[in-house]
Chains A and B, each alone.
Chain A
Amino acid sequence: GAGVSQSPRYKVAKRGQDVALRCDPISGHVSLFWYQQALGQGPEFLTYFQNEAQLDKSGLPSDRFFAERPEGSVSTLKIQRTQQEDSAVYLCASSSTGRRAEAFFGQGTRLTVV
């Protein structure tokens, strides 16, 4: 498809389990962003890649959260030893460079930690 694709759409994890969330950005998009959205809240910035370089990870809430984009296209957000407060929708967005570039968001992965 032409849009940003995220998988899985839904993930249920037991507390303490590791999870990996995948994002396929729009082909050719240089910039890739991850966001966390709790119920009833706006999306919170987690991290940003420009090609394979992770230029900003200021929003990652703890060292249990790790993101990578090794070849500058697909990205994976990994959460180790999941906790209940990690339950949220995780959104990925991509955009091209340039001052007018709009960001395109995927539908998100809903993570529920039980």
Chain B
Amino acid sequence: DAKTTQPNSMESNEEEPVHLPCNHSTISGTDYIHWYRQLPSQGPEYVIHGLTSNVNNRMASLAIAEDRKSSTLILHRATLRDAAVYYCILRDLNQGGKLIFGQGTELSVKP
């Protein structure tokens, strides 16, 4: 299973942008890059995903390096409700699409 590497924790100030990095040097051509987040006492929640091109949705943006060996999740204006553990996951739908979670990055947001 392809692995990802993320910082254990990051801090941000409220209403400032946050860039959460992820390295995935062993990514294969069929792996999609998915981001999920998990708030305390909740199940993980989908944030965004992409294959090669940068992606935007109402929650965040995903910037994917040209060689696909790294990506960055961008929260444009962090709020206190964005405090969570963020997981970067490689998902190979050719193998059933199971999500293999790492340790994730615990994001704290200061008012």
Contact = CB atoms under 8 A, between A and B. Distances in A.
Contact of B101 (A43, A48, A100): A43
Nearest to A33: B98
Interface residues of B, number: 23
A42 B49 contact: no
Contacts of B44: 43, 91, 93, 103, 105
Contacts of A44: 101
Contacts of A107: 41-43
Contacts of B98: 33, 45, 48, 56
A42 B102 contact: yes
Interface in A98-114: 99-108
Interface of B: 32, 34, 36, 41-46, 49, 85, 87, 93, 95-104
Given A56-B98, A103-B99, 13 more contacts: A4-B43, A41-B103, A42-B103, A43-B44, A43-B101, A44-B101, A48-B98, A56-B95, A93-B99, A103-B46, A107-B41, A107-B42, A108-B43
The 9 closest A-B pairs by CB, nearest first: A105-B43, A42-B101, A102-B46, A43-B101, A105-B44, A48-B96, A48-B98, A107-B43, A91-B43
